Amino acid sequence: MSSINNIDVFFSAQSFQENELRNKSVVVIDVLRATSTIVTALMNGAKGVIPVEDMGEASRISQSVDSDNYLLCGEKDGTKIDGYDLGNSPLEYSRDTVEGKTLIFNTTNGTKAIKKSLGSATIYIASFLNLSSIVNALSVEKNEIVLLCAGWKGRLALEDMLLAGNIIHNLSGGSLSDMANDGAKVAFGLYEKYGNDISSVIFQSNHAQRLKQIVGTDDLEYCAQTDICNLLPVLHEGIISI
Amino acid sequence: MSSINNIDVFFSAQSFQENELRNKSVVVIDVLRATSTIVTALMNGAKGVIPVEDMGEASRISQSVDSDNYLLCGEKDGTKIDGYDLGNSPLEYSRDTVEGKTLIFNTTNGTKAIKKSLGSATIYIASFLNLSSIVNALSVEKNEIVLLCAGWKGRLALEDMLLAGNIIHNLSGGSLSDMANDGAKVAFGLYEKYGNDISSVIFQSNHAQRLKQIVGTDDLEYCAQTDICNLLPVLHEGIISI
């Protein structure tokens, strides 16, 4: 990596303009749950994931493809969309269900962040589940890096910032330069304070409080796991694959 | 204050919807430089400050008032606006210049944050310069509290988050509950990491790097001072006063 000072953290999909990502490598983070679910789907043999911005785009794509090979997936405000094959719980994306399939994927915040990054040089998909693969890729990245936290409706999400801080902590060897960017310092400070018990911190986050009421705690426990796979999902020509 | 868990931090004026502030008390923070300048103007005897959203609104108001008693003030992207009496440097707002005057005040991020808060219950103006007055007021506040960092064009600004963290650190006695809001934890973590040398952290912020090139370092040194006055500016019927 050129320099730890060339890494920044954006804390929501609404917090920047597309042109701020030009020529940069972007790491999209939506721990609860979009990027954790994408990583899980690819780990379990999905051929690829097509992120879409809204139900209209999902519907247009699904009508033009062979339904045997595609699944329509996603959620709106935490709940599976009527008529979709799958929601946004990573636990639904078992090998039996997704192997060999291409997924059309539409979520409240995560896929919006991905779509808004399309003008960047590279788009990686990060979660705690594939943390080390991301850190390894970034450690040899030549471009400037933006860790793009999806957040929640414009607000920051603690679990996303915590993963961003974890990545920066790894890349910096635990000691961040005074000349690092504002966003990097904020994420790093958060990780230093709360990084020793990731699972508890995720459970206590505002997003987790909302999700618990909708889908229970199984997804939270799952998404809080670190390094259960060694995958580097990258977006190429509109499809995320490994 | 009802509970430290009823305090949240919004990290830019673009990161929320107006209705999220309803019935709450909002503390607007724009350390570099809008809120530091407003506090300074009031400290030096300005009668009041009318925050306006853009040059159009500033112009409309200025045409309807007696120019002997009003000053047209503000900046666009760090630079004084052509034809205005004053820019956004707090050092311009001396007693000789502002005493007894009402200021029509228009800045890039700070006044936008104030205007977007108009539907809230109360609006306080905070800077490091009047930190203790803000902490004292919030310690007996009955409403839920939002510390609204103005940020910079949608991005977070380190110096604003640091002041938010400083306020929360004071209100919580240095020990934040696990059930605090995401934004409160992020600001608190930042303050724990970087709070022991506020001036250096402000000097190293992204915003300071930009400002140094436009206006030098005098404003930075000034805005990094803590508790130079004991003032609680509040917005009432469109005018900020003490």
Mean pLDDT per 10-residue segment, chain B (242 residues): 86 93 97 97 97 88 86 86 92 97 91 94 98 97 97 93 97 94 96 94 94 91 97 96 96
Confidence (pLDDT) at A2: 64
Is A185 in the B-facing interface, judged by CB distances under 8 Å?
A: yes
Domains contained in chain A, number: 1
Of the residues A186, A201, A206, the best mutation for testing chain B's interface (the one with the most B CB atoms within 10 Å of its CB) is: A186
Q: Give the structural domain span for B130.
A: 4-241
Is A119 in the B-facing interface, judged by CB distances under 8 Å?
A: no
Confidence (pLDDT) at B2: 64
Q: Which residue has the higher pLDDT, B53 or A48?
A: A48
Confidence (pLDDT) at B108: 81
Is B155 in the A-facing interface, judged by CB distances under 8 Å?
A: yes
CA distances from B130 to A229, B37, B100, B122, B233 (A): 50, 11, 21, 17, 9
Percent of chain A with pLDDT strictly greater than 70: 99
Region A64-85 average pLDDT: 87
Confidence (pLDDT) at A1: 65
Confidence (pLDDT) at B3: 82
* CATH number of the domain residue A124 falls in: 3.90.1560.10
**Which tens digit of pLDDT belongs to each residue from A160-193?**
999 999 999 999 999 999 999 999 999 999 999 9
Quick one: DSSP state of residue A173?
A: T
Region A85-99 average pLDDT: 96
Residue A27 confidence (pLDDT) above 90: yes
Which segments of chain B are extended strands (E)? 7-10, 25-29, 48-51, 70-76, 79-80, 102-106, 122-126, 145-149, 234-236, 239-241
Please indicate whether, in this complex, the C-beta atoms of B183 and A156 are within 8 angstroms of each other.
yes
Which A-chain residues 197-216 have CB contacts (< 8 A) with chain B? 200, 204-207
Summary mean pLDDT of chain A: 94
| Per-residue b or e along B94-123, where b marks 16 or more CB atoms closer than 10 Å to that residue's CB | eeebbeebbbbbbbbbbbbbbbbbeebebb
Region A67-88 average pLDDT: 88
* Stretch (H or E) spanning A72: strand A70-76
Region A9-38 average pLDDT: 96
Contact A238, A105 (CB under 8 A): no
Contact A120, A21 (CB under 8 A): yes
Q: How far is A85 from A98, CA to CA, in rounded Å? A: 11
